[in-house]
């Protein structure tokens, strides 16, 4: 099959998906704003052809250039797994008459307020929410919904520009911070544990499912620099509380008209056992979540996805062997990394549980932890037992420390 893949080299996981498409036997036509000479070697090798565009997010320009470039070519599918380009892919399908999810369907995965309205219409529990385009509308919605509440971009990804608001005073402070966001969602804050429901679907039916837990919840992790956030996939999906989330996720997929491809959903488990929808994207989770899922089952979901969107049987392994945890590290101090303490001891103690690791090297400049979950690197571990997996993950969180300029051991 001939598949157009938008943004084949960015973000970080996209080269793996590009290779997965090629590995599945697809002829891959890439479109991106990275110059061809700067594409990673593995991406160059996987692509059949490549169109360099000035800005991948300039939809009208990309549509025009792609239409001219692909004239005379037989294209079977148009895919993307980067959140900001999912609507562009849908527009491209409609303009070129390519089968796949429509713009209206994809909009339900992108517009968070519309998303919740469609999910609620299917009788599924969602946070009470409202769309707001002005400070006045935000204040009205807050008064109607009540505190605490969450303010976030309608079309955001991750937890960027997302705030928990406790009262009127905090609301006024947050309004100053989100003034650059044209449309926000004001919604009920759901107090509970936070999980994912990840799938690869074929014609809306999950052929692979995953659940992972955020420790702590993202809203907490993004406000505490000293925290080393953990995400851990759940080996045993038969647990009642996990099954309730999976049932919710399957209902959401039907409510939103999911077609074929990856999805990444977040949901909440309240202390009384109620499960509540959070949000969903028709793309894979970022921050190495697909790598975690691969280590959970010892398989290649990049190629499995490639087979699914190429019209083949994904041949995915459903047996889950491990709980796989990723730990994101944030250096102490500012500037360049000076040293890493506790790493050798951790490796020696947990070598049989260590899957992969990518920490900034000594001499590298610290990243802005408020802008990237990956922060200054990550460590991935796994174990068949949930408690042991978390024990190892917390050891990586507590015992491995990166120090930057101007920092001192605690």
| Helix or strand holding residue 51 (H, E) | strand 47-52
Element (H, E) at 210: strand 205-210
Supply the pTM of this predicted model: 0.91
CB 262 within 8 A of CB 280: no
Domain ranges of the chain: 2-100, 128-188, 191-321, 324-410
| Exposed/middle/buried for residue 101 (C-beta within 10 Å: 0-12, 13-18, 19+) | buried
Residue 366 pLDDT: 95
Which CATH number does 191-321 carry?
3.30.470.20
User: Of the candidates 129, 157, 104, 117, which has an alpha carbon nearest to the alpha carbon of residue 266?
Assistant: 157
- CA 51 to chain CA centroid, nearest Å: 26
Contact between 263 and 208 (Cβ < 8 Å): no
Pairwise CA distance, residues 228 & 260, whole Å: 34
Would you call the peptide bond into 148 cis, given omega within 30 degrees of 0 as the criterion? yes
Would you state the structure tokens that stand for residue 138, as one six-digit string?
Answer: 């935000």
How many angstroms separate the CA atoms of 397 and 233, rounded?
17
Handedness of CA 304, 306, 309, 310 (dihedral sign): negative
pLDDT attached to residue 410: 46
Nearest 5°: phi and psi at 357? -160, 140
| CA distance to 67, 92, 216, per residue, from 75 (Å) | 11, 11, 44
Tokens read off for 342: 């506790």
CATH T-level assignment (fold) for domain 2-100: Rossmann fold (3.40.50)
Query: Which residues in the chain land under pLDDT 50?
Result: 409-410
In angstroms, rounded to a whole number, what is the distance separating the alpha carbons of residues 202 and 183? 32
CB distance 31 to 67 below 8 Å? no
Q: Are the C-beta atoms of 152 and 174 separated by less than 8 Å?
A: no
Does 3.30.1490.20 match the CATH number of domain 128-188?
yes
- In 3-state terms the chain splits into helix, strand, coil percentages (rounded to 5) of 35, 25, 40
């Amino acid at each position: 099959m001939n598949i157009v893949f938008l943004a084949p080299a960015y973000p970080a996981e996209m080269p793996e998906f590009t290779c997965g498409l090629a590995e599945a036997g697809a002829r891959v036509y890439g479109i991106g704003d990275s110059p061809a000479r700067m594409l990673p070697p593995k991406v160059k090798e996987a692509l059949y052809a490549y169109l360099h565009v000035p800005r991948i997010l300039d939809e009208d320009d990309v549509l025009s250039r792609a239409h001219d470039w692909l004239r005379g070519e037989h294209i079977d599918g148009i895919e993307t797994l980067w959140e900001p380009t999912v609507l562009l892919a849908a527009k491209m399908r409609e303009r070129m008459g390519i089968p796949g999810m429509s713009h209206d369907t994809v909009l339900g995965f992108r517009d968070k307020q519309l998303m919740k309205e469609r999910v609620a219409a299917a009788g599924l529990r969602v946070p009470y929410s409202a769309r707001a385009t002005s400070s006045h509308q935000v204040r009205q919605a807050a008064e109607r919904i009540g505190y605490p509440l969450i303010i976030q971009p309608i079309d955001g990804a991750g937890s960027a520009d997302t705030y928990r608001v406790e009262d009127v005073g905090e609301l006024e402070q947050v309004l100053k911070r989100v003034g650059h966001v044209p449309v926000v969602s004001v919604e009920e804050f759901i107090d509970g544990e936070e999980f994912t429901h990840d799938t690869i679907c074929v014609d809306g039916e999950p052929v692979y499912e995953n659940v992972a837990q955020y420790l702590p919840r993202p809203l907490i992790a993004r406000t505490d620099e000293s925290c080393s956030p953990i995400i851990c996939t759940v080996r045993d999906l038969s647990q009642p509380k996990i099954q309730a989330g999976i049932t919710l996720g399957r209902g959401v997929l039907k409510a939103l008209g999911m077609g074929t491809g990856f999805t990444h959903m977040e949901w909440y488990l309240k202390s009384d056992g109620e499960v509540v929808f959070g949000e969903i994207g028709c793309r894979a989770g970022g921050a190495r979540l697909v790598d975690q899922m691969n280590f959970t089952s010892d398989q290649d979901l990049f190629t499995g996805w490639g087979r699914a969107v190429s019209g083949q049987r994904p041949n995915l392994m459903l047996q889950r062997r491990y709980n796989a945890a990723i730990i994101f590290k944030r250096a102490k101090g500012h500037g360049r990394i000076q040293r890493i303490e506790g790493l050798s001891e951790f490796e020696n103690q947990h070598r049989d549980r260590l899957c992969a690791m990518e920490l900034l090297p000594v001499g590298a400049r610290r990243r802005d932890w408020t802008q990237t979950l990956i922060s200054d690197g990550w460590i991935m571990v796994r174990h068949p037992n949930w408690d042991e997996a978390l024990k190892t993950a917390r050891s990586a969180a507590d015992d491995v420390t990166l120090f930057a300029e101007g920092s001192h051991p605690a």
